[in-house]
Amino acid sequence: MSEAVGVVFVVDDDPSVRRAIKRLVESVGLQAELFGSAQELLRRPDRDAANCLVLDIRLPGMSGLGFQRELAAAGIHTPIVFITAHGDIPMTVRAMKAGAVEFLTKPFRDQDLLDAIQQGLEKDRARRAEEAEVSMLRERLASLTPREREVLPWVVSGLPNKQIADAIGASEATIKVHRSQLMRKLGAPSLAELVRMSEKMGIASPKTFKPS
Amino acid sequence: MISANAALPGSYDYSEVARSVFIAVAASYAALDLTGRVSAASGRIRLAWLSGGAVAMGLGIWAMHFKGMLAFHLPVSVAYHWPTILASVLVAIFASAVALYVTSREKMGTVEATTGSIFMGAGIVGLHYLCMAAMRLPGITVYSPILVACSVVLAILFSLIALLMAFGLREETRWTIPRRVGSATVMGIAISAMHYTGMAAASFFPASPPDLSHAVSITSLGNNAIAIATLIVLAAAVTTSSVDRRARAEVQRLNQDLERRVAERTLQLEAVNQSLRKEIAERGQAEEDVRRSEDRLRLAIDTIPQQIWSGPPDGSLDYCNAQWRSYTGLTLEELKGEGWQRMLHPDDRDRVVNAWRESVATGTPYEQEERHRRADGQCRWFLARGVALRDSAGRIARWYGSNTDIEDRKEAEARLRLVIDTLPALVWSKLPDGSADFLNQRFREYTGLPMEEGLGWGWMNAFHPENRAEEEWREAFAAGQPFEKEARMRRADGVYRWFLLRATPLRDEEGKILKWYGTTTDIEDRKRADESLLEAQNKLAHVTRTHAMGELAAAIAHEVNQPLTAIVTNANFCLRALEGGIKNPHELRVAITEIANDGTRASAVISRIRGLLMNGTPRRKETDINEVIQEVITLPRNELSRSRVSLRSELASDLPGVLGDPVQLQQVLINLIMNAVEAMRFSSQRPRKLLIRSAKSSDGILVQVQDSGPGIDPEAARRIFDPFFTTKPEGIGMGLSISSSIIESHGGQLSLLPASQGALFQFTLPVGNGVS
């Protein structure tokens, strides 16, 4: 997916509105894809393709808010910009809490929509970068030996080698070797970086910490 | 004379012999006859008969002997020594007595017969030979011993025969006389035979003349006299015997008759006795029955669970049944007279005694409820009743009465009264016309009206002056149907509260109203609740309307904002395109075209909403405006009554028909009515009245709707028909605008007219051709 060209999915039951938005979006060099309803979008093969979603609240069939929940449940976290002809505060709150980027009332200013879309694209970019890093780290983690994998949490928890050696029953020298190996394999320049990486990978500190 | 050695020859005068035999037979008959008499008699009479019979019989026998001797004629003169003769007579009598005695005894055995016959034979022999010895003749009498013995034997033998015959014949039977005659004949002959045998035993030899001292000569005259006298005596004896027998027979017959009659009488008496006994027994049974019946009655009177009493006309008491006695524990003696008054409750005594005295004086039935003290001292309520029993003349004969225990009923009554008095409702009963005859304690307490003031029509004073229209009440009661009425009642402290009065009639079998029963329930709170409910309803209506408006607004916004969004977005795109130099004029043209299209679309949406509010396309037809009005005013009735608005309609009857859409016209009318109601609801002005009029106008008809609300101020009046102009907090300002459009589409005009009070709206409709 190109990071230069964002893809925007527009879902609105009014074709006139859809076309106008497409025109506007494309005028700033983004790609737009149009859908008349949520169901129409769900029928698309790669539903994850969009970088940003412009979603009307009042839709035939499933409403915009319902669709938002549906996507979250399916693990699709595409940023959403809501547009509505008649919104109220509770609706807005619900939408924003569920992670919406923006909530615009029709008719909206063109710049507002474009800003919201831009924001969404950035959010999407960050999300995708993070996802990429996590998957890279997971690959690296997979390259560790079982012993290094075992030592990793101890290292992350900040204990000196001697204590780690005591805790898992190995020599201090061995631990030292393991430490340098796993830092190299994971590409962590410092312990602080290693801790950050571990958090991202969801590695927790050892549960059984026994101070000597 | 004959030689001395030669016996004197004797000869018999045979006629004399015959006569002697006859006498013997007669004497025998007499003997037999007398035997019956002697045996039939007893006591002194028997002795008399025995003596008489012996005399007669002895005389007969003697006469026969003497006659036989006289029948013997000797050639010498014979005289008779009379003392010896007399002795012979006595012997004859003695022998006869013996014979009679023996035969007249009840039994005659062989010994008696033998002894008797010996005595009798000896007597006869003695008689004979004494007679012979009495003879005084010049000669000696020599007896042949054989013949003498023979004569003695014959005498005894004949005596025995005679005795047996006499004994056998003594019973007097049918054939007695012929048999007696036969027997007498036999006996007479036998006696004669013996005599003549005795005579034959004697032979007379001449000797010296005899001593003739005490001797008499029997002449033939004497001889006959003896015979005749003897026969007379015998006849007399037989006659006497016969008379006596007949008398005896008569007596016997009479006796028998008497006995028969006695027996008959006895039988009759027996029968009478029998029936008498039966009667006595029956009477006894009847008495027993009566006694039992009395016992039963007494038992019934004493056992029935009632106290029964009676007394004389003076009013005292002289009887009371066991129930009363056992209840009071007093005896009849103690209760008698005026004694019953002692068991009256002291508080009742005067009333009861006076009432009883009055009943006694006037004779009217007595009926009082009174408390009687029981034996244990407790007093119970009784219903005492007394009635007078009158005789045929109408005078009081007795008083009868009863006391019924009504304690339980009284208690139940008291409980019921307590219930009625404490019910959280004002309870009353009224006469058919509506005048009160009972008000419960709560009613009296609540209103502060004492019973006497509340009765009759006094209860009306408990109501608010506005609710005191007596005519209205009278009408409600006169209608005879259960009814409800809401009215304000004054509490004792002067505060008025709303009450719901409910009345239900009690009817007899014919449906005539006997009484009204009813309650008056405090509904002030409910009334208030109703009002707050009404308010809540209004609020809810407001909310609903607001919500509906929100929905409408959302719909409008959505419908209108969609094209607007497209227009704005496209316009912005165009601007951007223009700013950045037109790279793609085609795209620009498309965008502008779409802007134009969306503009048209937005306008169409507005039109559609307006059409929606105007309720579809009108359908015109010939319409009677009065019908429309009448239909309409039934619709908001509930709303009217809730808001306490009274609606009045004044409809002209001669209106021409108009061409119009009834539904749209109704919509207009409802709009006007609801506006009026709302205007009045928020004003405190009273009363709330709504008037709907229909009338002819110059070119058609006109309809006016006028309220008694605050009216519309001139500022508002100018804009009242503008769309979205409203004087109401939640109004959308479309009602009058749309109504006006509808009326205009009918060729008429909706206008607000100046009015002295409230708001007066009027619309006109042209006749026939109202199509715009």
For residues B215-230, give the mean pLDDT. Answer: 70
pLDDT digits (tens, 9 = 90+) for B506-543: 888 888 888 899 888 888 888 888 777 777 766 666 66
Give the pLDDT band of residue B175 (cuts 50, 70, 90): low
Nearest CA-CA distance, residue B600 and chain A, Å: 13
Are B38 and B100 in contact by the 8 Å Cβ rule? The answer is yes
Are B79 and B137 in contact by the 8 Å Cβ rule? The answer is yes
Of B751, B762, B739, B731, the C-alpha closest to B613 is B739
- The total of other beta-carbon atoms located within 10 Å of residue B274's CB is 10
Q: For B28-37, B337-346, B545-554, which range has the lowest pLDDT when averaged over its residues?
A: B545-554
**Which pLDDT score is estimated for A118?**
92
Nearest CA-CA distance, residue B587 and chain A, Å: 9
Who among A23, A58, A109 is closest to B573 (CB)? A23
Greatest mean pLDDT range, A22-31, B26-35, B137-146: A22-31
Tokens of B315: 């009013």
Residues sharing a CB contact under 8 Å with residue B661, sequence separation 6 or more, in sequence order = B618, B619, B620, B621, B623, B742, B746
DSSP H or E segment with residue B27: helix B14-40
Residue spans of alpha helices (H) in B135-219: 145-169, 176-201
Q: Please check whether residue A36 touches B, CB under 8 A.
A: no
Are B402 and B306 in contact by the 8 Å Cβ rule? The answer is yes
Compute the distance between CA of residue B48 and CA of residue B375 in angstroms, rounded to an integer. 95
By DSSP bridging, strand B621-623 and strand B658-660 are antiparallel
Nearest CA-CA distance, residue A136 and chain B, Å: 42
What are all long-range contacts of B296-305, with beta carbons under 8 Å and residues at least 24 apart?
A: B305/B405
**Which pLDDT score is estimated for B261?**
82
For residues A26-49, give the mean pLDDT. Answer: 87
Nearest CA-CA distance, residue B610 and chain A, Å: 20
Residue B634 scores a pLDDT above 60: yes
pLDDT digits (tens, 9 = 90+) for B42-80: 777 778 877 877 887 788 778 777 777 777 777 777 777
> Which comes out higher in pLDDT, residue B115 or A31?
A31
According to DSSP, residue A60 is labeled S
What is the rounded average pLDDT for all residues in chain B? 81
Residue B770 scores a pLDDT above 50: no
Residue type, B693: R
For residues B91-98, give the mean pLDDT. Answer: 81
**Looking at chain B, which residue has its C-alpha nearest residue A23?**
B573
Neighboring chain A residues of B569 at a CB cutoff of 8 Å: 17, 20-21, 23-24, 107-108, 110, 113
Q: For A67-71, B140-144, B448-452, which range has the lowest pLDDT when averaged over its residues?
A: B140-144
Neighboring chain B residues of A86 at a CB cutoff of 8 Å: 553-554, 557-558, 561
Residue B302 scores a pLDDT above 90: no
**Which pLDDT score is estimated for A22?**
93
Radius of gyration over every alpha carbon of chain B, rounded to an integer in angstroms: 81
Of B58, B169, B60, B57, the C-alpha closest to B104 is B169
Q: Please check whether residue B591 touches A, CB under 8 A.
A: yes
Of B510, B535, B553, the C-alpha closest to B681 is B535
Compute the distance between CA of residue B134 and CA of residue B214 in angstroms, rounded to an integer. 10
**Looking at chain A, which residue has its C-alpha nearest residue B576?**
A27
**Looking at chain A, which residue has its C-alpha nearest residue B588?**
A23
For residues B628-641, give the mean pLDDT. Answer: 76
Q: Interface pTM (ipTM) of the complex?
A: 0.72
Of B624, B670, B667, the C-alpha closest to B647 is B670
Residue contact A24–B573, C-beta within 8 A? yes
By DSSP bridging, strand A52-56 and strand A80-84 are parallel
Give the pLDDT band of residue B756 (cuts 50, 70, 90): confident
Give the pLDDT band of residue B636 (cuts 50, 70, 90): low
**Looking at chain B, which residue has its C-alpha nearest residue A15?**
B566
First-residue to last-residue Cα distance in chain A: 52
Tokens of B76: 């010498």
Q: Please check whether residue B567 touches A, CB under 8 A.
A: yes
Compute the distance between CA of residue A156 and CA of residue A144 in angstroms, rounded to an integer. 15
Q: What angle do CA B194, B196, B200 make, to 5 degrees?
A: 115
Neighboring chain A residues of B594 at a CB cutoff of 8 Å: 16, 19-20
By DSSP bridging, strand B700-707 and strand B760-766 are antiparallel
Residue type, B484: E
**Looking at chain B, which residue has its C-alpha nearest residue A57?**
B558
Ordered domains of chain A (ranges, CATH): 7-132 (3.40.50.2300), 143-201 (1.10.10.10)
Percent of chain B with pLDDT over 90: 4
> Which comes out higher in pLDDT, residue B642 or A174?
A174
- Give the phi and the psi of residue B161 in degrees, each rounded to 5: -60, -45
Residue A154 scores a pLDDT above 90: no
SS (H, E, C) B600-619: HHHHHHHHHHHHHHCCCCCC
Compute the distance between CA of residue A210 and CA of residue B297 in angstroms, rounded to an integer. 116
Are B748 and B725 in contact by the 8 Å Cβ rule? The answer is no
- The total of other beta-carbon atoms located within 10 Å of residue B702's CB is 21
Neighboring chain A residues of B589 at a CB cutoff of 8 Å: none
Of A54, A26, A200, A203, the C-alpha closest to A117 is A54
Residue B771 scores a pLDDT above 70: no
**Which pLDDT score is estimated for A206?**
67
**Which pLDDT score is estimated for A135?**
86
**Looking at chain A, which residue has its C-alpha nearest residue B580?**
A27
pLDDT digits (tens, 9 = 90+) for A97-109: 888 898 998 888 8
Residue B296 scores a pLDDT above 50: yes
**Looking at chain B, which residue has its C-alpha nearest residue A20?**
B570
Neighboring chain B residues of A23 at a CB cutoff of 8 Å: 569-570, 573, 587, 591
According to DSSP, residue B317 is labeled B
Q: Please check whether residue A59 touches B, CB under 8 A.
A: no
Residue B386 scores a pLDDT above 80: yes
Are A8 and A52 in contact by the 8 Å Cβ rule? The answer is yes
Compute the distance between CA of residue B93 and CA of residue B99 in angstroms, rounded to an integer. 10
pLDDT digits (tens, 9 = 90+) for B326-345: 888 888 888 888 888 888 88
Compute the distance between CA of residue B556 and CA of residue B562 in angstroms, rounded to an integer. 10
Greatest mean pLDDT range, A179-183, B84-88, B129-133, B169-173: A179-183
**Which pLDDT score is estimated for B768?**
66
pLDDT digits (tens, 9 = 90+) for A127-139: 888 888 888 888 8
Q: CA dist B576 to A19, A110, A152, Å?
A: 16, 10, 56
For residues B189-212, give the mean pLDDT. Answer: 75
Q: For A68-77, A137-146, A150-159, B549-558, which range has the lowest pLDDT when averaged over its residues?
A: B549-558
Ordered domains of chain B (ranges, CATH): 11-241 (no CATH), 304-410 (3.30.450.20), 423-522 (3.30.450.20), 529-613 (1.10.287), 621-766 (3.30.565.10)
By DSSP bridging, strand B426-430 and strand B319-320 are unpaired
**Which pLDDT score is estimated for B547?**
63
Of B518, B516, B487, the C-alpha closest to B500 is B487
Are B143 and B198 in contact by the 8 Å Cβ rule? The answer is no
Q: Which of A10, A17, A30 to mutate to test the interface with B (most CBs of B within 10 A)?
A: A17
Compute the distance between CA of residue A108 and CA of residue A96 in angstroms, rounded to an integer. 18
SS (H, E, C) A108-130: CCHHHHHHHHHHHHHHHHHHHHH
Greatest mean pLDDT range, A157-161, B548-552, B701-705: B701-705
Nearest CA-CA distance, residue B737 and chain A, Å: 26
Greatest mean pLDDT range, B24-38, B102-116, B244-258, B380-394: B380-394
Residues sharing a CB contact under 8 Å with residue A162, sequence separation 6 or more, in sequence order = A172, A175
Give the pLDDT band of residue B230 (cuts 50, 70, 90): confident
Residue B26 scores a pLDDT above 90: no
Compute the distance between CA of residue A150 and CA of residue A167 in angstroms, rounded to an integer. 11
Q: What crossing angle do the helices spanning B145-169 and B82-104 adopt, rounded to 10°?
A: 40
Residue B284 scores a pLDDT above 50: yes
Residues sharing a CB contact under 8 Å with residue B414, sequence separation 6 or more, in sequence order = none
Q: pTM of the prediction?
A: 0.36
Compute the distance between CA of residue A102 and CA of residue A118 in angstroms, rounded to an integer. 11
By DSSP bridging, strand B426-430 and strand B436-439 are antiparallel
Peptide bond into B662 cis (omega under 30): no
Neighboring chain A residues of B576 at a CB cutoff of 8 Å: 24, 27, 110
What are all long-range contacts of B409-418, with beta carbons under 8 Å and residues at least 24 apart?
A: B409/B381, B410/B369, B410/B381
Q: Please check whether residue A104 touches B, CB under 8 A.
A: no
Who among B562, B576, B587 is closest to A85 (CB)? B562
- How would you class B81 by CB atoms within 10 Å of its CB: exposed for 0-12, middle for 13-18, buried for 19 or more? buried
Who among A23, A58, A106 is closest to B565 (CB)? A106
Compute the distance between CA of residue B451 and CA of residue B445 in angstroms, rounded to an integer. 10
Compute the distance between CA of residue A6 and CA of residue A32 in angstroms, rounded to an integer. 9
DSSP H or E segment with residue A149: helix A146-156
B707 SS3 class: strand
Torsion of CA B485, B486, B490, B495, to 10 degrees: 170
Greatest mean pLDDT range, A6-10, A136-140, B238-242: A6-10
Say how far residue B149 (Cα) sits from the centre of its chain. 111
A-to-B residue pairs, Cβ atoms closer than 8 angstroms: 70
Are B457 and B430 in contact by the 8 Å Cβ rule? The answer is no
- Give the phi and the psi of residue B368 in degrees, each rounded to 5: -145, 150
For residues B310-322, give the mean pLDDT. Answer: 87
Compute the distance between CA of residue A71 and CA of residue B147 in angstroms, rounded to an integer. 202
Tokens of B653: 């009857």
Which runs of E-coded beta strand occur in B207-332? Answer: 215-217, 307-311, 319-320
Interface of A with B in 71-100 (CB under 8 A): 83, 85-86
Q: CA dist B193 to B26, B61, B135, B153, B315, Å?
A: 15, 13, 20, 12, 116
Residue B300 scores a pLDDT above 90: no
Q: For A29-33, A132-136, B231-235, B271-275, which range has the lowest pLDDT when averaged over its residues?
A: B231-235
